[in-house]
C-alpha cells in the first residue's frame, strides 16, 4: 500500500468518526420515540413481532421496524428474528419502572422542547442571549411552571442523573459523622434517600419548592427510612432550615449566575453553625481540554440561560465562596462527572 493510500485510509476513518458525531442527535431522537411509544415496557414479558408492537402502539409496522432496527444497532433492543424484537440489557433501562429513571431522561433530552432550544444554538452564540427564551417566548423556568407535565419529566430526569451519580458521591465522601443533612434543592429526594439508607443513624431534610416537595411525598412514603426524613417546602433564596451540621447542594449553583449563587450561599451561611459544613456537588470544569460531556452539557446551559449561567472552574467556585464569607476546604473528585466541594464558615463569620 502506498503512502498516499495509507493517508487516504486514515482520512476516511477520521471522516467516518466525524460523521458519527454529526448524526448523534438522530440517536437521541430515535430513542425518544421508542421510549414514548413504550416499547421497552411491551417487551418486558418476552419478544414480540413488529406487527404485535405496531398494533399495541397504533403505529405503522414497516416504519416501526426501521426505528427498532436502528435502535437495536445502537445496542438498545435486540432483533432475534426478522421483524421480531426482544428486550436487551440496555433497553430494560427504558422501562417506566426501572430505578435508573432513564425513561424520563430519554423523554427530556429527546423532546421537542429541548431539541428546538438546541436548534437555537447559533442564535445564542451570535447574540449572547438564551436561545430557549428566543424560541419559546419565556425562560426555561417559566416554561416548566406553565407546563406541569414537562416539569414532572424534568424532575424525574433530574432524579435519573442522581441515580448515575449517587453511588460515586457516596464512595468519594464519608458521611458517617453527619447527624442531620439538609438537601437544598434536592428534587424528588433520590440522593437523600440513598445517603440515609447507607447511614442508618443520620436524619435528613429535603428542602425544595412546594410543587417539588408535593411530588416527593410518594417516594418518601415508599422508603424504609421515612421516620428519619422530613419534607420541608421553601425557597433557597430566602431561607433554609437552621442548625444542621451538613448542608448539601447538588447541581443547584450551575443553574444560576453569580449574583443568584451568592444569594443562595449567603442564605446557607446564615443558617450554618460554627461546625457546619456545606457540600456543593457540581461539575468542576478544567481550565483547558474539558471532557466531552462537560462541554455538551455546558452548551445546554448556554441555550437555556443567559451567558452568565455556566459550569464553573475551581477558581470560580473559590471566588464565589470567598464572597459569601465561606472557606473552600477541599475539592473531592468522584468517579462520575461531579466533584464534591467542601466549604466551611470563615473565621470572621464564626466570630
Q: Which residues are catalytic?
A: 254
Kindly give the interhelix angle for 148-172 and 190-198, rounded to the nearest 10 degrees.
Answer: 30
Query: In this structure, what are the phi and psi dihedrals at residue 287, rounded to the nearest 5 degrees?
Result: -70, -30
Q: How many C-beta atoms lie closer than 10 Å to residue 57's C-beta?
A: 16
**How far is it, in rounded angstroms, from Cα 93 to Cα 103?**
7
Contact in structure between 266 and 322 (CB atoms under 8 Å): no
**How far is it, in rounded angstroms, from Cα 56 to Cα 39?**
9
| CA 309 to centroid of chain Cα atoms | 16
Question: In the 8-state DSSP scheme, what is residue 39?
Answer: H
Question: In the 8-state DSSP scheme, what is residue 83?
Answer: T
CA distances from 289 to 86, 171, 292, 297 (A): 40, 26, 9, 15
Report the chain's C-alpha Rg in angstroms.
Answer: 23
Contact in structure between 142 and 148 (CB atoms under 8 Å): no
State whether the Cα torsion 306-312-317-318 is positive or negative: negative
Q: Closest Cα to residue 262, out of 325, 347, 320?
A: 320
Amino acid at each position: 500500500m502506498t503512502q498516499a493510500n495509507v493517508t487516504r485510509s486514515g482520512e476516511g476513518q477520521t471522516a467516518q468518526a466525524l460523521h458519527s458525531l454529526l448524526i448523534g442527535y438522530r440517536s437521541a431522537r430515535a430513542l425518544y420515540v421508542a421510549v414514548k411509544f413504550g416499547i421497552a415496557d411491551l417487551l418486558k414479558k418476552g419478544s414480540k413481532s413488529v406487527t404485535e408492537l405496531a398494533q399495541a402502539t397504533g403505529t405503522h409496522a414497516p416504519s416501526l421496524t426501521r426505528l427498532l432496527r436502528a435502535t437495536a444497532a445502537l445496542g438498545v433492543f435486540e432483533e432475534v428474528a426478522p421483524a421480531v424484537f426482544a428486550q436487551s440489557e440496555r433497553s430494560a433501562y427504558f422501562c417506566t419502572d426501572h430505578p435508573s429513571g432513564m425513561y424520563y431522561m430519554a423523554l427530556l433530552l429527546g423532546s421537542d422542547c429541548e431539541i428546538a432550544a438546541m436548534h437555537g444554538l447559533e442564535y445564542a452564540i451570535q447574540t449572547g442571549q438564551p436561545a430557549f427564551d428566543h424560541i419559546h417566548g419565556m425562560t426555561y423556568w417559566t416554561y416548566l411552571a406553565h407546563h406541569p407535565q414537562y416539569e414532572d419529566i424534568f424532575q424525574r430526569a433530574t432524579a435519573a442523573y442522581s441515580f448515575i451519580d449517587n453511588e460515586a458521591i457516596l464512595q468519594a465522601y464519608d458521611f458517617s459523622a453527619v447527624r442531620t443533612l439538609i438537601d437544598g434543592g434536592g428534587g424528588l429526594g433520590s440522593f437523600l434517600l440513598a445517603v440515609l439508607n447507607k447511614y442508618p443513624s443520620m436524619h435528613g431534610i429535603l428542602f425544595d419548592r412546594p410543587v417539588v416537595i408535593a411530588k416527593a411525598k410518594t417516594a418518601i412514603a415508599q422508603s424504609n427510612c421515612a421516620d428519619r426524613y422530613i419534607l420541608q417546602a421553601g425557597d433557597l433564596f430566602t431561607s433554609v432550615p437552621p442548625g444542621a451540621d451538613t448542608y448539601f447542594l447538588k447541581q443547584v449553583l450551575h443553574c444560576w449566575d453569580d449574583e443568584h449563587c451568592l444569594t443562595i450561599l449567603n442564605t446557607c451561611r446564615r443558617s450554618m453553625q460554627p461546625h457546619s459544613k456545606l457540600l456543593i456537588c457540581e461539575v468542576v470544569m478544567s481550565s483547558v481540554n474539558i471532557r466531552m460531556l462537560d462541554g455538551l452539557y455546558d452548551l445546554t446551559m448556554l441555550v437555556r440561560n443567559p451567558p452568565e449561567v455556566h459550569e464553573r472552574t475551581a477558581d470560580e467556585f473559590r471566588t464565589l465562596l470567598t464572597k459569601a464569607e465561606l472557606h473552600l476546604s477541599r475539592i473531592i473528585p468522584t468517579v462520575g462527572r461531579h466533584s464534591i466541594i467542601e466549604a466551611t464558615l470563615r473565621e470572621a463569620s464564626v466570630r
